[in-house]
Amino acid sequence: MLMLLTQSVSNASFGIYMPKYSGTIYEVLSAPVSFVEIVVGYVGAAATKSIILGLLILATATLFVDYHVEHPIWMLAFLVLTALAFSLFGFIIGIWADGFEKLQIIPMMIVMPLTFLGGTFYSIDMLPPFWQKVTLVNPVVYLVSGFRWSFYGVSDVGVEISLAMTLGFLAACLTIVWWIFKTGYKLKS
């Protein structure tokens, strides 16, 4: 999950930032394609690469650890939803960034700490009650919890809530991307 989050964000952010940096974004924007097709192309490529890497890591893990995926369909669903949501988030970062420093600041200062504080390596039940409630503000908790449930059948948060929060984060990112293309924010200037 950690690799999936970081790869999704970095692949999508670099994918859209480089055309902005080189000036070829204007050719993409003037082509006879809709903004939906542009987003599907950039985000789809980043999410696909992240999903393939995630599945390769899962397959490689079978050589070292004996594990069983209790809910394989849900595991794939959470894998795809997480890759899409964070690829969209990376796409937003790539458009927002106007330098390589800004391109790395959000993944390094926000995504990585949220990942470590989101129950990736521990159950949030181990935290004191106050911090358990604070942790529920972190969207990564729901992604990790849903993914953990698909493997082991146990989770920190109900799978319905995890799915709803993941879809909510995806919808928020889609709304921001729609607004970016509607206003031309950092694309047409």
pLDDT tens-digit readout, 121-135 = 889 999 899 989 999
- The Cβ-side half-sphere exposure at 14, using a 13 Å CA radius, reads 11
Tokens of 132: 């358990």
Q: Output 169-174 pairs: Cβ under 8 A, ≥24 positions apart.
A: 169/85, 169/89, 169/139, 169/142, 170/81, 170/84, 170/85, 170/88, 173/85, 173/88, 173/89, 173/91, 173/92, 174/88
CB burial class (10 A; 0-12, 13-18, 19+) of residue 56? Answer: exposed
Distance, in Å, from the CA atom of 4 to the CA atom of 85, rounded to the nearest integer, reads 11
Q: Is 55 among the domain residues?
A: yes
Q: Is 18 among the domain residues?
A: yes
Distance, in Å, from the CA atom of 91 to the CA atom of 43, rounded to the nearest integer, reads 7
Tell me if 55 sits within 8 A of 7, measured CB to CB: no
Query: What pLDDT shows up at residue 120?
Result: 85
Q: Is 166 among the domain residues?
A: yes
Distance, in Å, from the CA atom of 157 to the CA atom of 152, rounded to the nearest integer, reads 13
> Which residues are CB-neighbours of 163 under 8 A, at least 6 positions away?
77, 78, 81, 146
Query: What pLDDT shows up at residue 118?
Result: 87
Distance, in Å, from the CA atom of 76 to the CA atom of 73, rounded to the nearest integer, reads 5
Q: Is 136 among the domain residues?
A: yes
Query: What pLDDT shows up at residue 121?
Result: 87
Q: Is 139 among the domain residues?
A: yes
Q: Is 189 among the domain residues?
A: no
Residue 188, pLDDT > 80, answer no
* pLDDT-above-70 percentage for the chain: 99
Mean of the per-residue pLDDT values for the chain? Answer: 92
The count of domains in the chain is: 1
Q: Is 162 among the domain residues?
A: yes
**Could you give phi then psi for residue 175, rounded to 5 degrees?**
-65, -45
- Host domain of residue 135: 2-183
Residue 22, pLDDT > 70, answer yes
Q: Is 175 among the domain residues?
A: yes
